[in-house]
Amino acid sequence: MLKSLLSIDNLLLILRLATPLMLVALSSTISELAGIISLGTEGLMLMGAFGAVFGSYISGSGTVGILTGMAFGAAAAGVFSLLCIRYRSNQTVCGVGLNLFSTGFTAAATYIVWQKEGASGQVAQLAPITVPLLNRIPGAGRFFTNQSPIIYITILLVILSWYVMKYTKVGLRFKAISMHPVAARSVGVPVLKYQYAALLISGALAGLGGGFLSIVQNSIFAKNMTAGRGFLGVAANIFGGWTPLGSAGASFIFAFAQSVRFNMLETNVPDQFVQMLPYGITIIALILFGKRSKAPDGLGKIQ
């Protein structure tokens, strides 16, 4: 089993499993650095998964599907931002409400569009790509052969987010907003504009993660197909210390736990234990390391 876990095939599996987690973890990071509690990421991801399948269904294109999934996620985040920022509603309640609404909306919309309960019809997937030259690298070439472009885009987004947050004026302003929004406003930072923008970006990223699940890893939308990955993304954000690179690293840890699950399917270990393994490892990680991460002081405070 150890040999299997360290194989190239398993490393590629971990990369594919980590991609949607990195996207939703980055979504959570950006939202919470803007001072907005991100408990609604599961719902945003679910909306993106449905939107991607719907877009692919009406257009016949996986690319259009991915863009539609991002639009669905951003639209849901826009409504969420109005409730939390404009009307100053309780962010925790709104996040839970968004998750419940998304579950009901996607199930009802699936039945309306495909006249099926529980799952949609088959749609066009987003085609994989091969990166020229890099696919010829001995050993590592398989990482650049017939892989989803979303994987490479996700890695670039993590690096870009890290650079923006660490080295630019925008990142400095986000840090100020996350720590003390009143002080940030007092020196002329347009706090509300940054928060609205952050939530729309957050929604688009979560929608992209959902689209990866529905038309990259699969070719259908299934009821509740995110299966808690949105919450794993929130956990990865906390475990990663509210930083893009930390969130991405934590996502790989959780993806590794999921890969262990797949490698244990043919063992004599009870299936129920195998299924709960990734979530159990998440809980243990948060218990052991969560206390070391300090949440931004301005989280949940709308001024």
Does 291 have pLDDT greater than 70?
no
What is d(CA 107, CA 111) in angstroms, rounded to the nearest whole number? 7
pLDDT in tens, 124-146: 999 999 999 888 888 788 899 99
- Chain position carrying tokens 């509300």: 192
pLDDT for residue 303 = 60
Of 68-77, 84-93, 229-238, give the range with the top mean pLDDT. 68-77
Contact 99, 107 (CB under 8 A): no
Nearest to 125 by CA among 145, 148, 107: 148
Q: Domain residue spans in the chain? A: 21-224
CA neighbor of 200 nearest in space, from 60, 68, 48, 80: 80
- The residue behind tokens 């390391």 is 289
pLDDT band for 19, please (50, 70, 90 cuts).
Answer: very high
Percent of the chain with pLDDT over 90: 69
- Give 249-273 pLDDT, tens digit per residue: 999 988 988 887 777 766 677 767 7
Grouping H, G, I as helix, E, B as strand and the rest as coil, residue 47 is helix
Does 165 score more than 90 pLDDT?
yes
Burial of 113 from C-beta contacts in 10 A (0-12 / 13-18 / 19+) = middle
Give yes or no for a contact between 103 and 226, defined as CB atoms under 8 angstroms apart.
no
Q: How much is the pTM?
A: 0.93
